[in-house]
Structure 1
């Protein structure tokens, strides 16, 4: 049973998954599979609003978000019913073995305690088994339903005939299976709110020119052609083209470029980016669903809904295992009753023993217990793995693609080099720049603060658009900026050579001049994180391919890649194109993990086999990713890979331990060795089943002591 989809396993063509409730959407029949009902056509998801958009074959993402909550609460309620009554069964079993309770009390007590478990907690298994049977299919629910159903019905008959009863076996089986589902449910990501968080990034209103006056109107009322004014610090409402003014705009959410981009008349602006310095007026070109942000929203939505869940390994086993066990149980009954000539009750005891010892408690625990321990261990190391599918995919990746800004790099400009008299150059530059609003000014003043440099008062400060800044300090004219502002200044050959080298390293160079003479250079760059180089080296050591994928320009991208050790670089890529690149890599046969932190990374995080989000990144990136690095340490990518490998290998080992009891126990339970007095009645079969579960749990707990770099 795939526990992420409710109680049914439905095999149909063209099935996608609703991004809100995580139930299957079948395009051929336009149906959505829910925990207790299968709705088709116009009646899909019968409640307040139709869960299915019949035109787009997609689930709505508003009122029906309650479905996942209802599913979870239903599962929890079923589990707690089985847990509380299972505790009663345990007390009764202890009382029987210790002799403190009479057999009559135990027989009727187990009947009273097990009946609500069967009716409330076990009913969905019965329903699922019946639905699977009608579709000529078998899943783990089939075996749970058969094992518990036969044990309960047999015990009910035996109760009134004075024979041994095995009610507790049915109750414990349901408890263990539900326990496994609860473990997996806790690790499964809740319905993603990434789309809503993206939309929240939009500004609520804009100042639009109406009858010669700027008035504030809601964003929804904007039309193509509207003239909109944006003040410093405000968000740009929609996509458009500047018709008046100059500014620097923070477009990192879209382009990945950490440095604000200078904009003037004729340049395009993107909705929801931030105007940092000057006042601009622009003409709206794209509004509503046509803006770039809206397109990113749609892309994330499509990517999430088309993400096919991984087929659960135990489900694959069940397709062969379940019918085999059922056939063996029937053959056991017929052999004893028809061939050997045993009584119907004795033959039924052997048949029930086969079903009980084969019941998938251990199989049901094999995956979720390993996932629980593995994900808990990962979390302690700063790696949050949201669900079992993500962990399984992480263990199979062969290519890791990194975003640059904020992922491989710090994500903000810092001073990397100072040429000349470092203290004096920084003192002069910071004294001037503390009056500036330019983003690079903050990097310079922050460095001066870190070094405890005392700044001087700057007078007659003047910002020269596109060139730099000028001010008077201690009677001297101090000029900071690019080469154009220093055209008439004396430029030492060695300084010019050094500036050329820093430019080649993709650093932004601020030239510092005093009284028409260049006295120093300050290089500013978004520097790599300390953990980047070692993380890349470790991934390469494990044979993984590493790629940088960024919206930044080629020169900057290659400079950072060279520092951290990445060989492949794909630059100048927009958000939609990032996802296309990931899709292309996957189409070429790669199993891809994408590591990102920004809004612009959300589509790629959603479409990758494994999306790894930096914990210090945006909420949308964290929502879109299936793995989150909480410590902002890129070595977490290595830990995620190593831990997923160990956990998945542990799952395989658990499945072995879960199966070996069946391989050994089923022939004994079937009575093959009855002639030598070696038999397993249903009670002993239940004990063997419990030992199988204990061995699986112990195997999973050993993950806590496994060695991870």
Structure 2
């Protein structure tokens, strides 16, 4: 037990070092040990296509070892092959397996580098736990000392005190106080952020540092595990599971492989009718070139790289399925404040009503804003100061604070007079308490309120109640919510992608309609409650749409959990972060648009490389099939379109190309196919043209080039 003192730290929290993302010779070399470790059959069986290749490599290696004792290599379709043929086939089959493992190993290595950077940023801290915490009393005045415990010993719902300069020992919610927090260890951003109790910015992350003041935190993590620990585990890939589409594609590839196994096994009996035999090394080479090894080798790397691209943008996906779902999103729900607009409405003007002097309205608006700490209230004081108005309240005046319940702020004067400023409905209700206002004035007020609202602004009424009880509306303060630049173009891109955008706001329908039109969204939901958000998401999903949304508050948690892609802000509450399947460490709601793009890039990359893989098999057929039987059926030489040197060189060239193309495509698999906003039919046409036609042409060129080199070897 001890009194509050600065904790001892074994490491200082800091900004993670940047992780290089390019595929270089060094990254390939670093991935080789992992590629060899993955040769374990227990690991290889998870990728059926490459497991078949490994089994073939083992078989051909055994045959190559046994050939000297069996009288040398067998003929292939009546055509002799070089003595080293089996060894060459075996070597390149092993290379194919290793290259496939290398793609996954490099992808995982990038995640591990990011994880190592995060691990270095963690701090081992002493926690200052308050036992028997009483929310009604200041922890420093408890009288009893505060217990020093290791952060790893903290349990769920423990309460700790963290002062300036100390590291927050675990994930939690602030239950008392406000502080400036350095989150650079998590987000990489050097600018501190403000965290405070009682709002949507109350969540804090273990390992971040308090820069000012003092906060009381209730721990929300179990067994000392922090959000950073979960990040490390996820980016390392330990918790990554295959997505449904990956599983379906694995099943398709496995099925194709089984079909081709049956086809290859029947070739020798069929060739026997012509008194010819096909050697096992040639049959295995044919099988490996027939099955879609390219996409089988790169499939896992594509999925890992998709999650890694999100990590690069400081978005943590809790599962690969969430990234994939982002690519299929058809409805995007975006909160207005902070996403579509800059968030803080600013006072743009003072509009007197009923003959009120402009200075009287401004003075009343400023005095009633002294109890309004919101950005809107501060902007009113700033605008008035810019106009030269700086009124001072009379001695004995009492500020009436703004609350969400009253939706008003104001000031009470010693003589009994009162000023109120707030939402139009709240002010009109307040005036009604003392008899209301003149009908003509009411019509003028409603007209001005409607004009401001339909123009996208927010009207605040300012009213005064005299000491004798009479009430007057002095005028309207015009607040403007500014739409972020460039959003209209981005929403147009989403529309071209077939994605419908819906703005969600608590504003009235007039304001919501004007902002929606200015921003260019397709639809809006005004005066939205948590129940309204849930109902909207369910309606969209029942219509066959996949829905994505952002949120940061506890009231957003149900909708985040219901959405197919729920992106929680790191600055938000623990409930929101637990409900979503992604967390944006930068707390930038507009990043949802980028997340959708990354998801689509993942799906397009997988589709493009699958197209390429199947297409390049066509060229390999023309290389191997004629070569296998040209000795028995000379007419097949007409199919030897590439005019390869010999059957042996043709078969070996196809096997070598099959291995080398995997390495050549690793950078593309990790970087992803460049995504351009377009319709699905346009994207499909482009992929067929680039990767379909390219997948046919590239092997013709590559196999022919390799054949020319092999023809220089003795025996070929």
Question: TM-score with structure 2 length normalisation?
Answer: 0.54
Any residues of structure 2 matched to 1:440-519 within 5 Å, and which?
A: 441-445=377-381, 447=383, 451=386, 455-460=390-395, 461-464=397-400, 468-470=409-411, 479-481=419-421, 482-483=427-428, 484=430, 493=441, 496-501=445-450, 507=458, 509-511=460-462, 519=474
- In the TM superposition, residue 583 of structure 1 has moved relative to its aligned partner by 4.1
Task: Give the match for residue 551 of structure 2.
Answer: 596
Task: Give the match for residue 689 of structure 1.
Answer: 658
- In the TM superposition, residue 354 of structure 1 has moved relative to its aligned partner by 1.8
Q: Report if aligned partners of 1:615, 1:632 keep a CA contact under 8 Å in 2.
A: no
Any residues of structure 2 matched to 1:83-162 within 5 Å, and which?
A: 83=29, 120-123=37-40, 126-127=41-42, 139-157=48-66
Tell me, in whole angstroms, the C-alpha distance in 2 between the residues paired with 1:187 and 1:81: 9
Tell me, in whole angstroms, the C-alpha distance in 2 between the residues paired with 1:127 and 1:188: 23
The yes-or-no answer on 1:658 pairing with 2:613 is yes
Task: Give the match for residue 266 of structure 2.
Answer: 331
Deviations 1:557-585 (A, max 9, x none): 6675565444352754337x745653453
Q: Report if aligned partners of 2:200, 2:571 keep a CA contact under 8 Å in 1.
A: no
Any residues of structure 2 matched to 1:326-475 within 5 Å, and which?
A: 326-332=261-267, 340-342=275-277, 347-358=279-290, 361-364=293-296, 366-367=298-299, 389-415=321-347, 417-420=349-352, 424=359, 428=363, 431-432=366-367, 435-436=370-371, 438-439=373-374, 441-445=377-381, 447=383, 451=386, 455-460=390-395, 461-464=397-400, 468-470=409-411
Task: Give the match for residue 525 of structure 2.
Answer: 569
Q: Report if aligned partners of 2:371, 2:411 keep a CA contact under 8 Å in 1.
A: no
Alignment: residue pair count? 509
Task: Give the match for residue 310 of structure 1.
Answer: 244
Q: Report if aligned partners of 1:554, 1:572 keep a CA contact under 8 Å in 2.
A: no
Deviations 1:256-293 (A, max 9, x none): xxxxxxxxxxxxxxxxxxxxxxxxxxxxxxxx9xxxxx
Q: Report if aligned partners of 2:570, 2:587 keep a CA contact under 8 Å in 1.
A: yes
Tell me, in whole angstroms, the C-alpha distance in 1 between the residues paired with 2:200 and 2:36: 56
- In the TM superposition, residue 330 of structure 1 has moved relative to its aligned partner by 2.8
Tell me, in whole angstroms, the C-alpha distance in 2 between the residues paired with 1:526 and 1:85: 51
Q: Report if aligned partners of 2:253, 2:296 keep a CA contact under 8 Å in 1.
A: no
Q: Report if aligned partners of 2:200, 2:572 keep a CA contact under 8 Å in 1.
A: no
Task: Give the match for residue 236 of structure 2.
Answer: none
Question: TM-score with structure 1 length normalisation?
Answer: 0.55
- In the TM superposition, residue 689 of structure 1 has moved relative to its aligned partner by 0.6
Task: Give the match for residue 256 of structure 2.
Answer: 321
Tell me, in whole angstroms, the C-alpha distance in 1 between the residues paired with 2:420 and 2:610: 68
Tell me, in whole angstroms, the C-alpha distance in 1 between the residues paired with 2:574 and 2:296: 34
Q: Report if aligned partners of 2:601, 2:673 keep a CA contact under 8 Å in 1.
A: no
> Secondary structure at the residue paired with 2:477?
strand
- In the TM superposition, residue 532 of structure 1 has moved relative to its aligned partner by 5.0
> Secondary structure at the residue paired with 2:529?
coil
Task: Give the match for residue 207 of structure 1.
Answer: 135
Task: Give the match for residue 177 of structure 1.
Answer: 100
**CA pair 582-472 structure 1, distance change in 2 beyond 3 A:** closer
Any residues of structure 2 matched to 1:668-687 within 5 Å, and which?
A: 668-669=623-624, 671-675=627-631, 676=637, 677-679=646-648, 683-687=652-656
- In the TM superposition, residue 511 of structure 1 has moved relative to its aligned partner by 0.4
Tell me, in whole angstroms, the C-alpha distance in 2 between the residues paired with 1:316 and 1:401: 34
Q: Report if aligned partners of 2:605, 2:673 keep a CA contact under 8 Å in 1.
A: no
> Secondary structure at the residue paired with 1:207?
coil
Q: Report if aligned partners of 1:183, 1:368 keep a CA contact under 8 Å in 2.
A: no
Q: Report if aligned partners of 2:394, 2:413 keep a CA contact under 8 Å in 1.
A: yes
Task: Give the match for residue 610 of structure 1.
Answer: 565
Q: Report if aligned partners of 2:49, 2:293 keep a CA contact under 8 Å in 1.
A: no
5+ residue gaps in structure 2?
1-24, 73-82, 119-126, 147-154, 160-174, 180-196, 203-219, 221-238, 422-426, 632-636, 638-645, 679-716
Q: Report if aligned partners of 2:368, 2:399 keep a CA contact under 8 Å in 1.
A: no
Q: Report if aligned partners of 1:403, 1:550 keep a CA contact under 8 Å in 2.
A: yes
Tell me, in whole angstroms, the C-alpha distance in 1 between the residues paired with 2:612 and 2:562: 35
Any residues of structure 2 matched to 1:287-298 within 5 Å, and which?
A: none
Task: Give the match for residue 713 of structure 2.
Answer: none
Please, what is the CA RMSD of the aligned residues?
A: 5.8
Deviations 1:574-616 (A, max 9, x none): 37x7456534532331222224344443443344233345687
Tell me, in whole angstroms, the C-alpha distance in 2 between the residues paired with 1:614 and 1:387: 17
Deviations 1:350-387 (A, max 9, x none): 12212443465521355567678888888999988887
Task: Give the match for residue 229 of structure 2.
Answer: none
- In the TM superposition, residue 177 of structure 1 has moved relative to its aligned partner by 1.9
Q: Report if aligned partners of 1:415, 1:524 keep a CA contact under 8 Å in 2.
A: yes
**CA pair 128-366 structure 1, distance change in 2 beyond 3 A:** closer
Q: Report if aligned partners of 2:504, 2:525 keep a CA contact under 8 Å in 1.
A: yes
Q: Report if aligned partners of 1:431, 1:457 keep a CA contact under 8 Å in 2.
A: no
Tell me, in whole angstroms, the C-alpha distance in 1 between the residues paired with 2:390 and 2:302: 58
Q: Report if aligned partners of 1:370, 1:700 keep a CA contact under 8 Å in 2.
A: yes
**CA pair 648-704 structure 1, distance change in 2 beyond 3 A:** closer
- In the TM superposition, residue 122 of structure 1 has moved relative to its aligned partner by 0.8
**CA pair 705-400 structure 1, distance change in 2 beyond 3 A:** closer
Task: Give the match for residue 33 of structure 1.
Answer: none
Q: Report if aligned partners of 1:394, 1:644 keep a CA contact under 8 Å in 2.
A: yes
**CA pair 559-708 structure 1, distance change in 2 beyond 3 A:** closer
5+ residue gaps in structure 1?
1-78, 87-115, 133-137, 194-199, 223-229, 235-248, 255-287, 289-304
Q: Report if aligned partners of 1:378, 1:639 keep a CA contact under 8 Å in 2.
A: no
- In the TM superposition, residue 656 of structure 1 has moved relative to its aligned partner by 2.1
Q: Report if aligned partners of 1:426, 1:448 keep a CA contact under 8 Å in 2.
A: no
